[in-house]
Amino acid sequence: MSEQILIVEDEVKLANLMSDFLSSHHFVTHQIHHGNEVLPWLEINRPSVILLDIMLPGQSGIELCKAIRQFSNVPIIMVSAKVEEIDRLLGLELGADDYICKPFSYAELVARVKAILRRLNSAEPKATVMQLDESTYTVKFKTSCIELTNFEFQLFKPLFNNPNRIYSRDSLMDTMYADQRIVSHRTIDSHIKKLRKKLDELTQTDSVIQSVYGVGYRFVHPQG
């Protein structure tokens, strides 16, 4: 089971280097080069760690850090060009987990990432017993496992990655039809129905996906 690292860095060359090095340590990476793309991406994905540069086009790393902390405790490592800037950041109490100063050695980068993950894994004895496996399009729960269709999987991903958060049908549609295609809201219902059937069978409970009247759907973790 490999961890996904989000790299937010506008210098593409640097981002690639970071990516390469982390990959060689068996991390899966995703790059974002513009500040404004971060929050939308996080609505659908849930990385294990975020490496967040401060100087960015669009929303700055500082704004983003604050914004992310509104809804998630995902570990954030702030990346800054200047030592003095880090001092200033510490004063802001953004809620970042670590700070790293450019230029950094790649050994240091990996060390910090691993340190964070080690802390995290030892602190939380695996609260989520349900897991999404992107490579096989399966959902695992306890000892069982089900397969989802591509469509079902894309639909479920944002819901699963942001438990309790309510998604409107429109926003769910947006995540699966990149081409802005418009389908009936009943279509979403239909897929939700299939998802529910599979998931409820898996978890032996109902209401893993709940409807919120007039708003949309949300996922809540099952007992156990």
Given the rule CB under 7 A, which residues bind DNA?
101, 103-105, 108, 149-152, 169, 177, 183-187, 189-194, 196, 211-216
Is there binding between residue 106 and a second copy (CB under 8 A)?
A: no
Contact yes or no for 79/9 (Cβ under 8 A): yes
Among 122, 135, 143, 223, binds a second copy (CB under 8 A): 135
Interaction partner, residue 101 (a second copy, DNA, none; CB < 5-8 Å by kind): DNA
DSSP structure class, residue 135: T
Phi-psi region of 105 (alpha: psi -120 to 50; beta: other; left: phi over 0): beta
For 42, 120, 121, 153, the CA distances from 115, given in Å and listed in that order, are 22, 9, 10, 31
Is there binding between residue 24 and a second copy (CB under 8 A)?
A: no
Nearer to DNA, 34 or 193 (CB): 193
Nearer to DNA, 8 or 192 (CB): 192
Contact yes or no for 99/54 (Cβ under 8 A): no
Give me the residues that bind a second copy (CB under 8 A), please: 71, 135-137, 149-151, 162, 164-166, 212-215, 218
